[in-house]
Amino acid sequence: MTLLPPALAKFHSAFPGIELVLHEAGSRDLVAELEQGALDVALVIMPVRHETLETSPLLREELVVAVPHDHPLASRKTVTIADLRGVPLVMFRDGYDLRAATVAACRRAGFEPVFALEGGEMDGVLRFAAAGIGVAVVPSLVIDPAGPLRAIRLAEPLTRTIGFANRRDRRLSRAGREFVETVRALVRARDWLRARPAGLKILEA
């Protein structure tokens, strides 16, 4: 998520003596690690239906189809999921909700997606899509308007809600609370955005 680098920079500027350990994984993996006590707090896809965890929403974002500027779909203002039939996709690894959401949308449209490459994390998926290996279904938030990929909106939008999750039986440490508030303040200010991504809505806790 493009939000994290400026959030981490702002946090370290305000609290230089506090060390944060960042762990990137799919939402399902992060939820499992929260339940095991391996993480203090995580940004996850909501809803999270686990009795041991409490959540608070942060933002809602729209999923888009990311294609290189010279791709046949790049001239389109919108596409449908059905337009992706037979189009090679760069796919996230198991454990990512984006993978499950994309596969489910394709199946609802009556076809199985074709994977050009699978198993990546977000940065890798974006790089492979930019290299022309395949297109990718990603959050609009991660597409740099000045970058190598064009974000094409879906005619029937797919959205997801991002929020914080932590264990109910553990009070967040001061560092955890300050980090959550740093992220929320940054999101409210919106000055970290180069442009307004499609379908972005800021949510209150």
Spell out the domain ranges in the chain: 4-59+160-202, 60-159
Rounded-to-integer distance, Cα 28 and Cα 20, Å: 21
Please name every residue paired with 166 in a beta bridge, in sequence order, or none if there are none. 54
Quickly name the fold that domain 4-59+160-202 has: D-Maltodextrin-Binding Protein; domain 2 (3.40.190)
Rounded-to-integer distance, Cα 79 and Cα 11, Å: 39
Q: How many CB atoms lie within 10 A of CB 68?
A: 16
- DSSP structure string for 128-151: HHHTTS-BEEEEGGG--TTSSEEE
The pLDDT value recorded for residue 129 is: 97
The pLDDT value recorded for residue 205 is: 55
* CATH level 2 (architecture), domain 60-159: 3-Layer(aba) Sandwich (3.40)
Rounded-to-integer distance, Cα 3 and Cα 98, Å: 18
The pLDDT value recorded for residue 17 is: 85
Rounded-to-integer distance, Cα 178 and Cα 18, Å: 10
Q: What is the largest CA-CA distance in the chain?
A: 53
The pLDDT value recorded for residue 119 is: 83
Please name every residue paired with 59 in a beta bridge, in sequence order, or none if there are none. 162, 202
What is the phi/psi pair of residue 187, to 5°?
-65, -45
- Bridge pairing between strands 149-154 and 78-79: parallel
Q: Give, for all 205 residues of the chain, the pLDDT tens digit.
A: 578 888 889 899 998 888 888 888 888 889 999 999 999 999 999 999 888 999 999 999 999 999 999 999 999 999 999 999 999 999 998 878 899 999 999 999 999 999 999 988 899 999 999 999 999 999 998 998 889 999 999 999 999 999 999 999 999 988 889 999 999 988 888 766 766 777 888 887 5
Measure the CA dihedral 118/124/125/126, to 10°.
-160
- Bridge pairing between strands 78-79 and 53-68: unpaired
Residue matched to tokens 């939820």: 31
The pLDDT value recorded for residue 41 is: 94
CATH topology of 4-59+160-202 equal to that of 60-159?
yes
The pLDDT value recorded for residue 111 is: 98
The pLDDT value recorded for residue 186 is: 87
The pLDDT value recorded for residue 5 is: 85
The pLDDT value recorded for residue 45 is: 92
